[in-house]
Amino acid sequence: MLPPNVYDAEPIPVAARAEIERLLSSGDLFRYTAPANAPVTLLEQDFAALLGVRYALAVSSCSAALFLSLKALDLPRGARVVIPAFTFAAVPSAIVHADCTPVLCETGANYRIDLDHFRQILDSGVEAVMISHMRGHTSDMDAILAEAAARGLPVIEDAAHSLGTTWRGTPIGTLGDIGCYSFQSYKLLNAGEGGILVSNDANLIARAVIMSGAYEHNWAKHGTDAALEAAFLRWQNALPLYNLRLGNLSAAVIRPQLAELARRVRDGRRNHDHVAQRLNVSPWIDVPEKLALEERAPDSIQFNLIGLNDTDVAAFTEAAAARGIKVQVFGASQDNARAFWNWRFLGEPPDLPQTRAMLMKACYVRLPARLTVAECDLIAEAILRAAQEVMGNLRAFGT
Ligand SMILES: *Cc1c(COP(=O)(O)O)cnc(C)c1O
């Protein structure tokens, strides 16, 4: 059996075709052309209902959503915003884009925020908290929300890659003041590009809607509750228009995928947990446990190599590649966008030994929901044998 292809996306549900055909024949591609019920508006309504939040705003990417979240909070220029040091380069970039300053917090071997360092950073003075639930690994949200609330700090959740994950049964991205999700192709809902932000706060969402490009009275197409309307009237003409809107075609691609979400979450979790259980048998591999209050929606697996030095790590990824499985190590390539020392646009990288040590040993392999358990077994087998080959033989010769 050949190793499975873990890169291809799932086909877009056939239900999208009729709507796309209708949009192509009418040319109705802009969200604000129709008087009501544009595909983007319907996507926002469906998404908000699915997550149980009051408001959603669809935009051009999750990065745009993160940028608009910071702008919606009206932070002063240069405001310090704490983020986990284990995240994607787009996150500190969104902060720089909003004229704020990212402050990197240590993350542990379990990929989650180190709460002692987090408290230290909050005490050193920050104006907002932006939590990336990186690859669906949820940091302790009870602790984070409590620490932020005690200091009156707003919390933005970067749930780009965590749609479907819950904390105490509540969807990740709906716990803080604003949550942001991605529709880029490697995330759970695929439109090529796109993003969405959610909030229960009428003032924040009104500011984000206007700045996303709801010029003149287009905000009226975002709903009519009294709190929202009052907020729109407050901010009309007072804010810049950054034009980060989503188009109708993208919305038409995403909407029918919402019905697929539960299946993708269920099968992705099954695949992840199956491979995790197999890998954890190896003395050289550790898949960190999820936190007790978290239910995950993984589409990849992360694991740490135990007792391997940098040469062993390289030999291990080569041995896995020879078996047809591409294992990436976050810190091992020259250009990995999730290694904080590669974010040279921030200047000299801070000294974060714990996160650095984790990134040098943390591997990842995509495990899309469409894989069968048999295909997952092939992946697990290749990883186990690669570790055995590199470490088992070394041990035998070394003793
Ligand atoms: C993908 C991703 C982003 C960026 O999303 P875009 O829609 O591509 O801008 C941000 N944060 C995390 C954790 C991501 O995985």
Q: For 341-355, how does the pLDDT look when each residue is reduced to its tens digit (9 = 90+)? A: 999 999 999 999 999
Q: Does the residue 216 lie in any domain?
A: yes
Question: What pLDDT is attached to residue 7?
Answer: 87
Q: Does the residue 94 lie in any domain?
A: yes
In the sheet that 328-329 helps form, which strands lie side by side, from edge to edge? 285-286, 300-305, 362-366, 328-329
Buried b or exposed e, range 59-81, using 16+ CB within 10 angstroms:
bbbbbbbbbbbbbbbebeeebbb
Q: For 141-197, how does the pLDDT look when each residue is reduced to its tens digit (9 = 90+)? A: 999 999 999 999 999 999 999 999 999 999 999 999 999 999 999 999 999 999 999
Q: Please, what is the end-to-end C-alpha distance for the chain in angstroms? A: 36
How many CB atoms sit inside 10 A of residue 109's CB?
Answer: 16
Question: What pLDDT is attached to residue 394?
Answer: 52
* CATH number of the domain encompassing residue 357: 3.90.1150.10
Residue 146's Cβ-side half-sphere holds a number of Cα atoms within 13 Å equal to: 6
Average pLDDT over residues 69-92: 98
Ligand 1 centre to CA of 160 (Å) is 5
Ligand 1 centre to CA of 61 (Å) is 8
In terms of domains, do 97 and 222 share one? yes
Nearest CA to ligand 1 atom 12: 160
In terms of domains, do 183 and 43 share one? yes
In terms of domains, do 40 and 102 share one? yes
In terms of domains, do 24 and 65 share one? yes
| Token pair of 244 as six digits | 């980060």
Confidence check: pLDDT of 393 > 70 = no
Confidence check: pLDDT of 40 > 60 = yes
| Token pair of 84 as six digits | 């986990």
Confidence check: pLDDT of 319 > 80 = yes
In terms of domains, do 104 and 133 share one? yes
Q: For 55-76, how does the pLDDT look when each residue is reduced to its tens digit (9 = 90+)? A: 999 999 999 999 999 999 999 9
Q: Does the residue 399 lie in any domain?
A: no
Average pLDDT over residues 384-396: 82
Ligand 1 cavity residues, CB under 6 Å: 61-63, 87-88, 90-91, 132, 134, 158, 160-161, 182, 184, 195
Higher-pLDDT residue of 378 and 223 is 378
Q: For 105-115, how does the pLDDT look when each residue is reduced to its tens digit (9 = 90+)? A: 999 999 999 99
Which of 256, 288, 315 finishes a domain? 256
Question: What pLDDT is attached to residue 344?
Answer: 96
Ligand 1 centre to CA of 323 (Å) is 30
Nearest CA to ligand 1 atom 13: 134
In terms of domains, do 312 and 173 share one? no
Percent of the chain scoring above 90 in pLDDT: 95
Chain center to CA of 216: 32
Q: Predicted confidence band at 398 (pLDDT cuts at 50, 70, 90)?
A: very low
Q: What is the mean pLDDT of the chain?
A: 96
Which of 62, 139, 162, 183 should be mutated for ligand 1, with most atoms under 8 A from CB? 62
Question: What pLDDT is attached to residue 3?
Answer: 83
Confidence check: pLDDT of 397 > 60 = no
**C-alpha angle 250-254-256 in degrees, rounded to nearest 5:** 135
Instruction: Say if residues 156 and 129 touch (Cβ distance below 8 Å).
Output: yes
In terms of domains, do 247 and 297 share one? no
Q: For 268-306, how does the pLDDT look when each residue is reduced to its tens digit (9 = 90+)? A: 999 999 999 999 999 999 999 999 999 999 999 999 999
Helix axes 373-387, 310-322, angle to 10 degrees: 140
* CATH number of the domain encompassing residue 143: 3.40.640.10
Containing domain of residue 351, as a range? 260-391
In terms of domains, do 264 and 252 share one? no
Chain center to CA of 250: 19
In terms of domains, do 240 and 304 share one? no
Q: Does the residue 187 lie in any domain?
A: yes
Which of 256, 277, 302 finishes a domain? 256
In terms of domains, do 383 and 237 share one? no
Q: Does the residue 27 lie in any domain?
A: yes
Q: Predicted confidence band at 245 (pLDDT cuts at 50, 70, 90)?
A: very high
Give the position, in ligand 1's atom list, of the atom nearest the Cα of 62: 7
Question: What pLDDT is attached to residue 348?
Answer: 96
Q: Does the residue 2 lie in any domain?
A: no
Give the count of domains, the chain: 2
Ligand 1 centre to CA of 315 (Å) is 30
Which of 256, 285, 306 finishes a domain? 256
In terms of domains, do 232 and 320 share one? no
How many CB atoms sit inside 10 A of residue 307's CB?
Answer: 10
Confidence check: pLDDT of 97 > 70 = yes
In terms of domains, do 179 and 327 share one? no
Distance CA 239, CA 233 (A): 12
| Token pair of 282 as six digits | 């190896």
Q: For 113-140, how does the pLDDT look when each residue is reduced to its tens digit (9 = 90+)? A: 999 999 999 999 999 999 999 998 999 9
Q: Does the residue 251 lie in any domain?
A: yes
Q: Does the residue 1 lie in any domain?
A: no
Question: What pLDDT is attached to residue 367?
Answer: 96
Nearest CA to ligand 1 atom 2: 160
Q: Give whole-number Cα distances, 296 to 110, 111, 289, 366, 392, in Å.
A: 14, 14, 11, 15, 32
Please state whether beta strands 166-167 and 128-132 pair in parallel, antiparallel, or not at all (unpaired).
unpaired
Distance CA 291, CA 269 (A): 14
Ligand 1 centre to CA of 180 (Å) is 9
Ligand 1 centre to CA of 223 (Å) is 27
Question: What pLDDT is attached to residue 399?
Answer: 40
Nearest CA to ligand 1 atom 11: 160
